[in-house]
Amino acid sequence: MTYTAAAVTGVVVAVLIDVFVLRSRIVLGRVFWCTYPIIFGFQLLSNGILTGRGVVLYNPDDILGVRLVYAPVEDLAFGFALIVLTLSLWVRLSAASRPGPDPSEPPAPPR
3-state SS string for the chain: CCHHHHHHHHHHHHHHHHHHHCCCCHHHCHHHHHHHHHHHHHHHHHHHHHHHCCCCCCCCCCCCCCEECCEEHHHHHHHHHHHHHHHHHHHHHHHHHCCCCCCCCCCCCCC
- pLDDT tens by residue, 53-84: 999 998 888 899 999 988 899 999 999 999 99
Q: What is the pLDDT along the chain (111 residues), one digit of tens a residue?
A: 789 999 999 999 999 999 999 999 999 999 999 999 999 999 999 998 999 899 999 888 889 999 998 889 999 999 999 999 999 999 999 988 877 665 555 556 666
